[in-house]
Amino acid sequence: MLVGKEAFCDYRTIREAVEALERDASMKPATLYILAGRYEEQVVIYRPHLRIVGIGDVEIAMNRYAKERDEHGEEVGTFATPTLFLGGSHLVVENLTISNTAGQGETIGQAVAVYAHCDQTVFRNCTLKGHQDTLFTGPLPPAPRERAAFGGISLREHHAHYRQFYRNCYIEGTVDFIFGGATAVFEACEIRSLVHEGGGVGYITAASTPLGQKYGYVFRDCFLTAEPGVPEASVYLGRPWREYAQTVFIHCLMGEHIHPGGWDNWNNPANEATVRYLELGTGTRDAGRLRSSRVPWAGWIEDAEADHEYRPEHVFSGTGFWRQGRGFFEISDPDL
């Protein structure tokens, strides 16, 4: 199936193509190709076994934001705002730029680019652009703390696992711009902090790893950068959205914008006893000195065996969905 503005394309909008794909009751593996262009639409996809491929420079953009008002005058909330929502499993997303262009500030609040409520999903060579809460990796926590319900896009399916692999991607934002409860590996990605309006502190991750889940976020061989204007020592690696947050950085290169303490407890010292924050091979100008400045309740991976535990083949043990290559749907995987 082909989306684009040319006369030979099957559909002119991504939403029309998705609606057609979801009418296919067989749900056989399918590929959706999108020709170069900017598509200003909110895309909601529930079906499994789908590969979405951008051909050339493809951007999906929308500008919904949490403080936007609905027809009843109520704020729509964070989870109504994603430019792209994925609710299925066995998905591949390649060569797309997905943007939430709402901006930032008190009148905007959170504005999600990708809501990944999905399992066994690969993002490859993608660009995710936004400010606060750019990428949400499901599942949601059991209950919200500040609202009666999370609201937002309806969830038709709840997965036993939420496993996601991000390879060669660019993800930008200001506050908690990678957040959620998934088991997610980010490999060879650029994680870019943007200037926070008003000069506020930045946070890269806000994991909500469920109690008992073995892995949360794993960043391997990534590059933590900042746009010009981001102050030195103004961005934390993470803070816990929920008390059992797990986040690991392995062999990552970090700019001077990263705060020497590394981690924040989200104004709750009790979180320090329950989170699992680890680093190995942090690359800076003075890594030894940096280690001594990290908060005492975060840890370090000390040996190669522990490093090996955080490789994709171990994090995603039992499934081969994360392996790269065009034959994704041909992988010998009992779950497919």
pLDDT reported for residue 329? 44
pLDDT for 183 equals 98
Give the model's pLDDT for residue 327.
46
The Cα-based distances of 254 to 32, 127, 226, 259, 281 in angstroms read: 36, 19, 9, 10, 11
Give the mean pLDDT per block of 10 residues along the chain (336 residues): 97 97 92 98 97 97 97 96 98 98 97 98 98 98 91 96 98 98 98 93 98 98 97 97 98 95 98 97 65 92 83 95 62 37
C-alpha pair distances (Å), 69 with each of 75, 115, 144, 151, 155: 5, 20, 19, 13, 21
Q: What is the pLDDT of residue 198?
A: 81
Q: Is 59 helix (H, G, I), strand (E, B) or coil?
A: strand
| Cross-strand bridge partners of residue 94 | 53, 124
Architecture of domain 15-326: 3 Solenoid (2.160)
The answer to whether residues 230 and 259 touch, using CB atoms and an 8 Å cutoff, is no
Establish whether 176 is a catalytic residue.
Answer: yes
Catalytic residue (choose from 70, 176, 264, 335): 176
List, as one string, the DSSP characters of 302-320: -SHHHHHHTSHHHHTTT--
Residue 305: its pLDDT value, please? 73
What pLDDT does 285 receive? Answer: 53
Q: Using CA atoms, how far apart are residues 96 and 82, in angstroms rounded to an integer?
A: 15
Distances (CA, A) of 160 to 13, 70, 139, 157, 181: 32, 32, 10, 10, 12
Q: How high is the pLDDT of residue 264?
A: 98
pLDDT for the residue 192: 98
Cis status of the peptide bond prior to 139, with omega within 30 of 0: yes
> Max alpha carbon distance in the chain (Å)?
62
**pTM of the shown model:** 0.95
